Amino acid sequence: MILSDIQILEAIRRGDLRIEPFRREALGSNSYDVHLGPYLRVYTQPAFDARRPLPSTLLKIPPQGLYLIPGVLYLGATEEYTESHSYVPFLEGKSSVGRLGIQIHSTASKGDIGFCNHWTLEISVIHPVRVYAGMPIGQLIFFTVEGEVEAPYLLRKDARYKERTELPLPSFMWKNFHSHEDTYT
């Protein structure tokens, strides 16, 4: 079941959901609009190695916006910090953003119960498009889950993206290889 606007507000009042900053006008009938933060991260080498940390550059989106170009993976982050203690959050693109040819995630649309952070966006475009810090970029929907949760994300030892930051985070896949060396050799 997807939470309605009234249920989202009730969950925030109870402390089961947290959205900062919370903008009442961003609340839809069954979703919450999130906005593009001021930073983008781009990898600085053309070929990736999943076993190694990837060098990257952090870009600040200027007030006049920044053109994104096809063929480049941009990591962005939501302005909003979110916490979900009882619901499974999903991040989806907004149709108006999709109609500009902007995709905001490749594979990571689902969050976990216990995820507490800004969302990192995996942004790609099909043709050049200028983006702006603060523009609506996606929407969160919240699903109920049946049963108890044994290990919320924030309490898992193998959770790689726990440190609170407004910056877009690069891939930490390489940490999986180092913590399970014999599994991947």
Distance CA 166, CA 88 (A): 21
Q: What is the dihedral of CA 27, 143, 3, 116, to 10 degrees?
A: -40
Say which residues have a Cβ less than 8 Å from residue 69's Cβ, sequence separation at least 6: 125, 128
DSSP, res 54: P
**Catalytic residue (choose from 10, 80, 83, 122):** 122
Beta bridge partners of 63: none
Distance CA 137, CA 79 (A): 10
Answer yes or no: 122 catalytic: yes
Closest CA to 66 of 37, 103, 94, 44: 37
Triad 67, 79, 75: Cα angle to 5°: 45
DSSP-based three-state secondary structure for 9? helix
Single-letter amino acid code for the residue at 18: R
Distance CA 166, CA 144 (A): 27
The residues annotated with a catalytic role in the active site are 122
